[in-house]
Structure 1
Amino acid sequence: MMPNKALRRLVEGAVIAALYTALTLALAPISFGPFQCRVAEVLTILPIFTPAAIPGLTLGCILSNAVGAAMGTNILGILDIFVGSAATLLAAVCTYLLRNVCIKGVPVLATLPPVVFNVLFIGTELSLALGHPLWFSMIVEVGLGEAAASMVLGIPLAAILIKSGAQKRIFAQLR
């Protein structure tokens, strides 16, 4: 029996938010700070498979940044709840829009928005907060880690999910 579509999407989004938050906080020392590699960003590939990932990733980012700020781990503080989450929302929407642009059956271009938006938003935040040169914050402090999580990990994850057919089982095609 197929569950209610709206309920299914709500649960998918909630699970994605929980996974993103858990991964970010479990790896807090590398998720926050001047040199970031937020491994949870591998999940930014999920809007390719379900639109529920858009609010899920955004909520996960809000929760992660809020808890990180409350714990004192997130050096960008309360501002990052808004700026970082806006970057995540915009990236997730763009990833969803690029989901059908494929190279050898894999939506490689869909991994670019998280890198671009985080480099611009978080790189600027870090530069202003820490007084580092903008290019350094964008490329070194954010860009390398974001590319590693979103692209180096995200592309193989997408390929595995697509080629194995797992995305159809995990993200049921709802009618």
Structure 2
Amino acid sequence: MKNKSYFLAKAGIIAALYAVLTLMLPFLSYGALQVRISEALTVLPWFTTAAVPGLLVGCLLANLFGSPLGLLDVVLGSLTTFAAAWWASKIKTKALVPLPSILLNSLVIPYVLFQALNIPYLPSVLYVGLGQTLAVYGLGYPMMLFIEKSTKLKMLLTDKKHP
């Protein structure tokens, strides 16, 4: 029971952090040029499987309450975050953990932008990819390294073994 409660608590905290970071900075979080700061959290599946549902729920809430792009963003954006988090949780090489979020969001979110705002797909792939890279490699990866060096944070977060 303790492990299940701890898992749910971690997932809930991650969901809340993702939603708040996204909703707090809407000008950075939505649109053709976006650097969603909350995407830095997509490295957390490296440490805990609780990050997978946590990121899904956080993205779902952020898009439900903040996205000007409509239901398509709520559904596709959330599913993309879930797929990227699940994929990241399976990666064994630390430096590659940010890639699923960058790759999947770079391909899916431009489709949402095209459908919602008629923004051309190919340029959006580059813009979203750049924003994702800044958020995930620029903020998330250093956070990942910091967590690894912090005994207390690593102990609180980690439920996975790495090579």
> TM-score if structure 1 supplies the norm length?
0.86
Distance 1:115 1:123 in 2: 12
State how far apart, in whole Å, the 2-side matches of 1:67 and 1:85 are: 13
Matched, 1:112 2:99: yes
Listed one character per residue, the Cα deviations across residues 103-162 of structure 1 (whole Å, up to 9, x for unaligned) are: xxxx1101000001111110111123332322101111x111111111111111111111
Q: Which runs of 5+ in 2 are unaligned?
A: none
Partner residue, 2:83: 90
CA deviations over 1:5-51 (Å, ceiling 9, x no partner): 00000000000000001100001111112211110000001001100
Stretch of structure 1 that moved more, 130-139 or 49-58: 130-139
Unaligned runs of 5+ in 1: 69-73, 102-106
Query: Larger Rg: 1 or 2?
Result: 1
Matched residues in 2 for 1:128 and 1:138: separation? 14
2:114 aligned with 1:127: yes
2:47–2:159: 8 Å Cα contact kept in structure 1? no
Q: Which amino acid aligns with 2:57?
A: L
Q: How many residues align?
A: 160
SS of the equivalent of 1:36 reads: coil
Which residue of structure 1 lines up, in the alignment, with residue 71 of structure 2?
78
2:98 counterpart SS class: helix
**1:40-92 Cα distance to aligned partner (Å, 9 max, x none):** 00000100110000000000000000001xxxxx2311111100001000000
Q: Which residue of 2 aligns with 1:170?
A: 156
**TM-score (norm: length of structure 2):** 0.92
2:117 and 2:159 map into 1 onto residues whose CA distance is 46
Question: Which amino acid in structure 1 is aligned with residue 109 of structure 2?
Answer: I
RMSD across aligned C-alpha pairs, in angstroms? Answer: 1.6
Give the corresponding residue for 2:129. Answer: 143
Confirm or deny: 8 A CA contact 1:49 1:167 kept in the other structure: no
Q: 1:169 to 1:120 in 2, by over 3 A?
A: same
Paired with 2:16 and 2:130, the residues of 1 have a C-alpha distance of 25
Identity %: 39
Q: 2:4 corresponds to which residue?
A: 6
Determine helix, strand or coil for the equivalent of 1:132. Answer: coil
CA distance in 1 between partners of 2:138 and 2:152 (Å): 20
Q: Residue 16 of structure 2 aligns with which residue?
A: 18
Counterpart CA distance in 2 for 1:132 and 1:25 is 22
2: CA distance, partners of 1:145 / 1:166: 30
Q: For residue 9 of structure 1, what is the amino acid of its counterpart? A: F
- Equivalent residue number for residue 71 of structure 1: none
